[in-house]
Amino acid sequence: MNGFSATHAVYLVSSIGWTLALSALAFVLGGIGGFGVMLARISTHRWLRRAAAVYIECVQGIPLLIWLFLVYFGLSVYGFTLPAIVAAGLAMMIYASAYLGDIWRGCVEAMPAPQWEAAECLAFTRWQTLSLVIIPQAVRLSLPPTIGFLVQIIKMTSLASVIGFVELTRAGQIINNSIFQPFLVFSLVGALYFCLCYPLSRWSEAMENRLNVRRSIDHR
């Protein structure tokens, strides 16, 4: 049995690309879906708000691992055989859309009432109020929690290993199966995840601190 080699290191590092690709796919598609969920949650139509609330509750109440099983294994029963990356991206998109939609809805509703009232005084329609006044300000407020959730997405990509998608965690499993050095291999895997996530976490924290400083100045 051979030990950990440079070939294993290259294979492990190269798998980061697939982790980032899946993260980007889930975040972008989840963001598009989340924007729709957010609009539905703040809609003037009660039935639409309720439907979006039920969607969020259902998605958040089911573990991501189950969504992966449903999309990858469940759909194949009905003849829809999806590549692992497509299935993982779809499952994570569903999951991310619920969380991002809820985050962004909270940021929109956190906007001060005078902002809405000022738009009404200018005879803005609801869509003009949202697109020109509320959402641009809510974007700044939403950046820290959105980046924080992106960190969670990167870490959640490890679950895609259960359906055979070769990202960072799965690459670690493959290497460990060949050399059986779990402490070394998975310590390296954990270190690589840390290198990916820590800068984003610090960025999110820095943005949150800047927002808090601005709020304290505005309230003086």
Predicted confidence (pLDDT) per residue in 73-94, tens digit: 999 999 888 999 999 999 999 9
Residue numbers of the domain that contains 68:
6-111+137-218
Q: What percent of the chain has pLDDT over 70?
A: 96
119 within a domain of the structure (yes/no): no
If you average pLDDT over every residue of the chain, what do you get? 91
| Inside any domain, residue 127 | no
Residue 121 lies in a domain: no
- Alpha carbon 172 to its chain centroid, in Å, reads 23
Does residue 83 lie in a domain region?
yes
- CB atoms inside a 10 Å sphere around CB 191: 10
Decide if 131 is inside a domain: no
* Pairwise pLDDT comparison (189 vs 133), residue with the higher score: 189
- The answer to whether residue 186 sits within a structural domain is yes
Nearest Cα residue to 108 out of 64, 140, 76, 63 = 140
pLDDT in tens, 107-159: 998 888 878 878 888 878 888 888 888 888 888 889 999 999 999 999 999 99
Count of domains for the chain: 1
Short-list 159, 143, 145, CA closest to 22: 159
From the list 127, 186, 191, 187, the residue with the least C-alpha distance to 161 is 186
pLDDT of residue 111: 85
Q: What is the CATH number of the domain that holds 146?
A: 1.10.3720.10
Answer yes or no: is 79 within a domain.
yes
Asked whether residue 191 carries a pLDDT value surpassing 80, the answer given is: yes
| Residue-level pLDDT at 215 | 59
| Digit-coded pLDDT (tens) for 39-58 | 999 998 999 999 999 999 99
Q: What are phi and psi of 124, to 5 degrees?
A: -75, 145
Is 42 a domain residue? yes
